[in-house]
Amino acid sequence: MEWTRQQRYQSYDHYTAQQLLELQSQAATDPVQVRYHLHPSLGLLNDPNGFSYFNGQWHLFYQSFPFGATHGIKSWMHTVSEDLVHWRNLGLAVAPDTKFDSHGAYSGSAKAFGDRLFLMYTGNHRDADWNRISYQVGAWMDKDGQVTKLDHELFVNPPHFTELRDPQLLVKDGHYYALLGAQRTADKTGVADLWESDQLESGWHEVGEVDLGQSDLGYMVECPNYVDVDGRAVMIFCPQGLDHQTAPYQNIYPNMYLTGQDFDLTAPRLVNPDETLTNLDEGFDVYATQAFNAPDGTAYAVSWVGLPDTTYPTDDHNWANVMSQVKELHYRDGHLYQTPVEAMADLRHTHHATIFTGQPTVIKEDAGQQFELQVTIEPNQAGTLTLAGDQSLEHGVFLNFDTTAGQLVIDRAKAGQPVAEDHGTTRTLTVPGHQELKLDIFVDHSLVEIFVNDGYKVATLRYFADQAHGQVAFTNPTKATGTLWPIKPY
């Protein structure tokens, strides 16, 4: 369905209960709907927002257009969790209902202060001539989940940026900082920008552009996030329009990171940063990752599994996109690792585990679409591990490995309904040659997350297979050991 601008910006009150129930049931009953990942209860989900710990719970909000699979007028939906795995959807938290966010409550972050959570985000307003005016705005959420917006903006975008959005609120030495994504007016290039205040609810001023040691950050930076990972400063962001010479990527827009010794907030810069940008995820569909340090210092990240300007087969069922699982971040031996959180293991149906060793071909004929597979492939093996395979293994998500050369090629060309084929149907990961290859794979109906070598690399993808295609098998006998656990829904 083509949405007109008028339809996309229709007020939330316009929709009837009947329509909402219908949309809800479409999202809930679609066979390809994920069962153990956070997903929209209706309509479209995009960026994770306000990922935080508050009042004894994890909070994760997300960008939502609740009325269909299009980027219409955005709000924040609110979810909570006790273990970072089971999420309860509490519904609409930040509606587009003030003069500052009337045309969209865009992305932002959250931080707990005493018994309240402060939400900082970008509000969009359109004037009668449809000119966009963006504001950075704030709201307090109390322990009952009641959100009260400030009656004034925190700051208005200065003229030297055409775009400034997605504030990440940081606190250091009694000062409040906001890290934002921006586009410079002068040459339409992308940059991250830092603001500061001593009062939070007012007194914001620009500190300046953040020097990440890169001359090219494309035409717009979205969703910048700073996080401390085991003492290393990590900057995660989406440099839209990045030159492929600067850093290779295949997705329409990249989600990249840089690490450095420190994030200097006074003369904003990443100190001694990496020379080159690295893809945070080497799969097909990760964007707008949000990371934060929990009260105990642990760094967690979560991503939108979906991309801007991309259509997905579920659009026809009026819902779109899912959230990745939450990952724990670590920095070891000069490298960023991403691993599942501990509670993911609670989802395993341990009584129904399939354990394999020797030289298996078929691991499980009817594994279905809801399982975790841990597999270690011995050195100097080449072949294909198929997920969501049909009987003949002609269809499925193919993981073509070569542990001699050190390569893993993920191929979704024959998985089912196509997605974003213009941007390629394979992704190639380089792994150490002549060594074993360890994979921890999570399959959830239309989502695959692959952790390679204990989280040294991660690759995430959507796939849209016939749900009857539930075979997991190697095409040739392969020296491998591992376990497949069916996963409990929640």
Look at residues 190, 167, 199 and name the one whose alpha carbon lies nearest to residue 180. Answer: 167
Which CB atom, from 165 or from 414, has the smaller least distance to ligand FRU? 165
Q: Shortest distance, CB of residue 208 to ligand FRU, whole angstroms?
A: 21
CA 409 to chain centre: 22
Q: Active-site residue 47, yes or no?
A: yes
Which CB atom, from 125 or from 165, has the smaller least distance to ligand FRU? 165
Backbone φ, ψ for residue 103 (5° rounding): -115, 25
DSSP state string for 2-30 = PPPHHHHT--GGGS-HHHHHHHHHHHHH-
C-alpha 393/C-alpha 5 separation (Å) is 44
Which CB atom, from 10 or from 400, has the smaller least distance to ligand FRU? 10
Q: Shortest distance, CB of residue 448 to ligand FRU, whole angstroms?
A: 21
Which CB atom, from 46 or from 109, has the smaller least distance to ligand FRU? 46
C-alpha 216/C-alpha 237 separation (Å) is 13
Q: Shortest distance, CB of residue 430 to ligand FRU, whole angstroms?
A: 28
Which CB atom, from 183 or from 381, has the smaller least distance to ligand FRU? 183
Q: Shortest distance, CB of residue 308 to ligand FRU, whole angstroms?
A: 5
C-alpha 340/C-alpha 78 separation (Å) is 22
C-alpha 180/C-alpha 385 separation (Å) is 41
Are 471 and 386 in contact by the 8 Å Cβ rule? The answer is yes
In the complex, the residues that contact ligand FRU under the rule CB under 6 A are 46-47, 63, 74, 106-107, 122, 165-166, 222-223, 288, 308
Backbone φ, ψ for residue 17 (5° rounding): -55, -40
C-alpha 370/C-alpha 36 separation (Å) is 8
Q: Shortest distance, CB of residue 108 to ligand FRU, whole angstroms?
A: 8
CA 31 to chain centre: 22
**Is the CA virtual torsion 457, 458, 463, 465 positive or negative?**
positive
Which CB atom, from 98 or from 453, has the smaller least distance to ligand FRU? 98
Q: Shortest distance, CB of residue 212 to ligand FRU, whole angstroms?
A: 18
Backbone φ, ψ for residue 238 (5° rounding): -120, 95
C-alpha 202/C-alpha 351 separation (Å) is 56
The token pair at 340 is 């599942």
Q: DSSP 3-state assignment of 301?
A: strand
C-alpha 194/C-alpha 144 separation (Å) is 32
CA 457 to chain centre: 15
Q: Shortest distance, CB of residue 453 to ligand FRU, whole angstroms?
A: 29
C-alpha 430/C-alpha 78 separation (Å) is 38
Which CB atom, from 286 or from 367, has the smaller least distance to ligand FRU? 286
Q: Give the CA distances from residue 285 to residues 44, 338, 451, in Å, rounded to whole numbers and listed in that order.
A: 15, 16, 15
Q: Shortest distance, CB of residue 238 to ligand FRU, whole angstroms?
A: 7
Q: Shortest distance, CB of residue 46 to ligand FRU, whole angstroms?
A: 5
The token pair at 19 is 């329509």
Annotate 325-334 with b (16+ C-beta within 10 A) or e (fewer): bbbbbbbeee
- Tell me the longest C-alpha to C-alpha distance in the chain: 69
Q: Which of 30, 47, 101, 166 is catalytic?
A: 47
Which CB atom, from 183 or from 453, has the smaller least distance to ligand FRU? 183
Look at residues 222, 220, 279, 190 and name the one whose alpha carbon lies nearest to residue 106. Answer: 222
Which CB atom, from 192 or from 223, has the smaller least distance to ligand FRU? 223
Active site residues: 47
